[in-house]
Amino acid sequence: MLSLTDLRPGTTFIYNNEPHLVVSSEHSKQGRGGAIMRTRIQNLFTGALFDRTFKGNEDFDEAEIERKKAQYLYKEGSIFYFMDNATYEQFTLTETQIGEKKNYLKDGTAIEILYFDNKPINVNLPIKIDLKVTYTEPGFKGNTQSDTTKPATLESGAEVQVPLFVKIGDIITVDTRYGTYIGRA
């Protein structure tokens, strides 16, 4: 059993009979009142993120999540195909299960698959991933303000804000947690 103070980022627990992951948490204790924990949690079945406040006397069952290395193969409609690196077994996940992570998947990407009750339920992406810019407007000469950005479409279909000097064909590094530009690869 997990107590309120165990709900730290990265912890998996059962909530409403489904596995959830704590994305962020903030512990608070005010005066005479009991402690509370404000959390942002992700449903590992659906990928949905939401905020939830828990009171100090609540207990939670820990979710037994198994992690295995896999490789993303391809997408067909709203179905994503993966291959387990150890057994070479292929399996699928739906677009609903993957959620926004679909924006950073490209063929051959090494990822981590989360299993619950021996069934694949979600993916963990590397924090940094290199993707090619397929479309962006050209930067204008003389526009040198340091924090000016423009939208760029990547090979995976994701759109991120990039500095003005980035052009079509450049390979950039993107932070998959926030969908932000880190630098050129």
Q: What is the 3-state secondary structure (H, E, C) of the chain?
A: CECHHHCCCCCEEEECCEEEEEEEEEEEECCCCCEEEEEEEEECCCCCEEEEEEECCCCEEECCEEEEEEEEEEEECCEEEEEECCCCCEEEEEHHHHHHHHHHCCCCCEEEEEEECCEEEEEECCCEEEEEEEEECCCCCCCCCCCCEEEEEECCCCEEEEECCCCCCCEEEEECCCCEEEEEC
Evaluate if residue 144 carries a pLDDT over 70: no
Q: Which of 61-70, 79-88, 97-106 has the lowest mean pLDDT?
A: 97-106
Give the confidence band of 182 by pLDDT, cuts at 50, 70, 90: very high
37 and 81 assigned to the same domain: no
Domain C-terminal end among 14, 32, 62:
62
Domain that holds residue 81: 66-124
pLDDT band with cut points at 50, 70 and 90 for residue 70? very high
Greater model confidence, 139 or 166: 166
Q: For position 29, which CATH number holds?
A: 2.30.30.30
Specify the number of domains making up the chain: 3
The last residue of one of the domains, among 17, 36, 62, is 62
Instruction: Say which CATH number the domain at 175 has.
Output: 2.40.50.140
Q: Are residues 169 and 119 in the same domain?
A: no
Assess whether 34 and 14 both reside in one domain.
yes
